[in-house]
Amino acid sequence: MSDEENTPQAPGIAAAWAQPEETEGGRPRRGRGVGPDPMEQLRNWTPKTRLGRMVQSGQILTIDDAFATGIPIREVEIIDALIPGLEDDIINVNMIQRMTDSGRRVRFNVMACVGNRDGYVGLSIVKGKEVAATIHKAIVNAKLNIIQIQRGNGSWESGQGAGTSVPFKVTGRAGSTRITLLPAPTGKGLVIGDTGRQVLTLAGVTDVWSRSKGQTRTTINFAKATFNALKQLNAHRITKRDEETLNIVKGRVTE
């Protein structure tokens, strides 16, 4: 019994078992939301992949360790276990109608974004027949597409401390939309369109300048271009000296 208590657990799994299971009318009660309760899923989780078994057994305790293995993340419970409390935001919901021989066919196109507001963000777009099921699937896919981003103080006006902006200029593209993110001083805020602001807020970037080209009124391409720009932060090779000069932090800010 003492060995089980001393076994390390992923933060999400520990929170799931520590949370009391409230019931209402003999059934588990949960708050408002789309899809099943993540905490209940973790309590009843039976891993199907090797990475999932490593997370459940306590061999992997952080998302950085999971990325370091190089094993693809195939189960959403892995993300819920390693990054508990992810926030989700539905960026766009489109209804698509098409006439067929059997009548009018209606489908929905949903774009969702998830993040912890501290260095991790995911984006996904999904099509489906029902709104609620499509939203849930979009959130799950966004969690499986989550990435770690780098933040830093790339502006000459910024002071010392953990980075709140992007460390250098990056550009992302989706369709004809091109978004360029530039370092901004601390306290400037997010100088970007509403769609890009949603993505950057969930990623944990609080200060940024931006430039845009192309058809920027397209919500889906604007969000994808912003997400692709954040992806480009990880594609640059940075020396140790530059990391210290720009106060670059990867993922969560630990102080």
On the question of pLDDT at 27 being above 60, the answer is: no
CATH of the domain at 125: 3.30.160.20
For 77, the domain range is: 2-82
Q: What is the mean predicted confidence (pLDDT) over 194-214? A: 94
Domain boundary (45, 66, 82) is at 82
Q: What is the mean predicted confidence (pLDDT) over 94-109? A: 86
255 is a domain residue: no
C-alpha to C-alpha distance for 132 and 54, rounded to whole angstroms:
32
In this structure, the answer to whether residues 24 and 95 fall within a common structural domain is no
23 is a domain residue: yes
C-alpha to C-alpha distance for 189 and 152, rounded to whole angstroms:
14
* Closest by CA position to 168, among listed 226, 251, 236: 236
On the question of pLDDT at 232 being above 70, the answer is: yes
In this structure, the answer to whether residues 173 and 214 fall within a common structural domain is yes
C-alpha to C-alpha distance for 91 and 146, rounded to whole angstroms:
16
In this structure, the answer to whether residues 159 and 243 fall within a common structural domain is yes
- State residue 158's pLDDT score: 67
Instruction: Tell me what the pLDDT averaged over the chain comes to.
Output: 86
Total residue count of the chain as it appears in this document: 255
Question: 143-185: per-residue pLDDT in tens?
Answer: 999 999 999 887 777 666 667 899 999 999 999 999 999 999 8
Q: Rounding to the nearest 10 degrees, give the CA dihedral for residues 246, 251, 253, 254.
A: -120
Neighbours of 133 (CB within 10 A): 15
In this structure, the answer to whether residues 158 and 220 fall within a common structural domain is yes
In this structure, the answer to whether residues 165 and 245 fall within a common structural domain is yes
130 is a domain residue: yes
Structural domain total, the chain: 3
Q: Are 222 and 239 in contact (CB under 8 A)?
A: no
CATH of the domain at 173: 3.30.230.10
